[in-house]
Structure 1
Amino acid sequence: MTGAVAGRTLDDVLDRMTSILEAMPPELAPRRAFLATYQRTTRAVGEALAYGAFEDPAWVQAWDVAFADLYLDALDADLSGDTGHRPPRPWRLAFDAPPDLPPLRHVLLGINAHINYDLPQALLGVISDADFADAVLLGRRRRDHERIDAVLSARVAAEDDELSAQGRKSPLDRALTPFNRAASARFLREARAKVWHNTAELQRARVAGPDEYAVRLAELEVLSAARIADLLAPGQVLLHLAVAGFGVVLPPA
């Protein structure tokens, strides 16, 4: 994966996002909700890179490009309608969710697929088996992974304001805004901690061979898809996630 993203930058990713957004018809508003959120978050990561928030900015950029590609490739496959190249199940369920759901629900469905399913794969794409054997280097990779939390947490209030501007929040939602924002920051931290665990599990499977890796990745796909039911349940979903958790955990092999 590292070689595949060599020479590409977050600006290239943002250009690709812009092209997809501009070509997306109005009736696909739910897909636009997540893509626009992700585009704003990607810009925030680029700003954090510019002011030196990470220990290894070149690695973070390569990782973020690889990460974005997993989502954008799934979105392209969905938009093309090519039945021979379907998105992974967590993305299919997110894309096929009822269009009249509030934008927040569509964003959460996208976050589930992208963080719980895509992110461990993206990390493996830019952390070699030799890197995993180097405790000092791996520690640096993990710290930069955790620093993304600060970027995401800083976006919570702004993204909540975006949803409010769309006029799709109920009076109860507005009353719960401070609690929902705190819950969002909490479940993002919790999910990313579980992502690191799942990345290590997948790496052990990768060392064991392609068949073992395929089995473990399939397990992760099932776990991530199963979270959809929680995200579609009635009630205050963010408060529920703050208690029950958002991430998924691969059991030991």
Structure 2
Amino acid sequence: MNGSNPIADVVARMQQRLDVLPDELAHRRFFLATYLRTTQAVGRAIERARFEDPEWVEAWDVTFAELYLHAHDGKLVPRPWRLAFDAPESLPPLAHVLLGINAHVNYDLPQALLAVISDDDFEDQHLMDRRRRDHERIDGVLAERVSAEDDELAASGARSLVDRVLSPLNRLASQRFLRESRQKVWHNTEELQRARLDGTYDKRLAELEVLSAAKVADLLRPGQVLLRLAVTGFGVTLPPP
């Protein structure tokens, strides 16, 4: 392993899982390949000094990826991931990608942020402003990937006729969903941090798991996933305790 480049290491681990993915899990390839390329894009953005605190973004991105790898490997498979992984193989590739993104962003991302932001950090408003700005800068990196990932699906022949017709809508909607979900993720991170302080973290995380699973279950209902997201939104919001 390349200890001097944690993102390169986690990308290599994703590639290894992609290379050995058995036929019965072939439908996982769509999200895994997309996530691999996205993680590479974040690594390039770090190298190009697009973040205020690149070391923190690197630690956060690797922690985030670890949660997915644990779920993929069956080490810890929370309900949002079980639903996404068990989705019918016959679903369009875009649907598998969106289900994975939904489970990962709504459930895993607040945990990843909290893992790299201490309680003392939350008391430092200047530092938290920097953290939030870097959190929002990820949107720019991901938005740049939307068109490229749409092209990847088109090149593979994996898009349906409906997906091709909706392609411009898909690209615009995906970028809006990214912004919306990240705002909710930040709210949920703050809720979990308050729970960490008052000893109710496990209870609140369980609530987030239920909300995230319900969102994935909703997206599994018949019909166009993106059109349903346009109505119901992408993210989930922890209510007050």
Normalising by the smaller structure, the TM-score range is over 0.9
The counterpart of 1:68, out of the listed 60, 65, 69, is 65
Shift of 1:165: 2.0
Corresponding residue number in structure 2 for 1:222: 210
Please, which moves more after superposition, 97-106 or 114-123?
97-106
Paired residues in the alignment total 239
Q: Please give the residue correspondences for 1:31-180 in structure 2 after superposition, counting only pairs within 5 Å.
A: 31-77=28-74, 85-180=75-170
Tell me which stretches of 4 or more aligned residues in structure 1 moved more than 6 Å. Answer: none
Shift of 1:170: 2.7
Shift of 1:53: 0.5
Corresponding residue number in structure 2 for 1:80: none
CA deviation vs aligned residue, 1:122-157 (integer Å, no higher than 9, x gap): 000000000000000000000000000001100001
CA deviation vs aligned residue, 1:178-219 (integer Å, no higher than 9, x gap): 11110001011100110000000000000012xx10000000
The counterpart of 2:197, out of the listed 195, 200, 207, is 207
User: What RMSD over aligned residues (CA atoms) do the two structures have, in Å?
Assistant: 1.4
- 1:183 and 2:183 equivalent? no
CA–CA separation in structure 1 for the residues paired with 2:40 and 2:76: 28
The counterpart of 2:182, out of the listed 174, 192, 198, is 192
Shift of 1:249: 0.1
CA–CA separation in structure 2 for the residues paired with 1:48 and 1:86: 30
CA deviation vs aligned residue, 1:17-38 (integer Å, no higher than 9, x gap): 1111111123311111111100
> With structure 2 as the length reference, what TM-score do the two structures score?
0.95
> With structure 1 as the length reference, what TM-score do the two structures score?
0.91
CA–CA separation in structure 1 for the residues paired with 2:162 and 2:174: 17
* Contact 1:157/1:181 (<8 A) preserved: yes
Identity, in percent, stands at 68
- 1:239 and 2:206 equivalent? no
In the alignment, residue 245 of structure 1 is paired with which amino acid?
G
Shift of 1:234: 2.8
Corresponding residue number in structure 2 for 1:3: none
Unaligned runs of 5+ in 2: none
In the alignment, residue 231 of structure 2 is paired with which amino acid?
V
Corresponding residue number in structure 2 for 1:81: none
* Contact 2:83/2:217 (<8 A) preserved: no
* Contact 1:179/1:239 (<8 A) preserved: no
Please, which moves more after superposition, 198-207 or 105-114?
105-114
CA deviation vs aligned residue, 1:57-101 (integer Å, no higher than 9, x gap): 000000001000000011111xxxxxxx55111111111111111
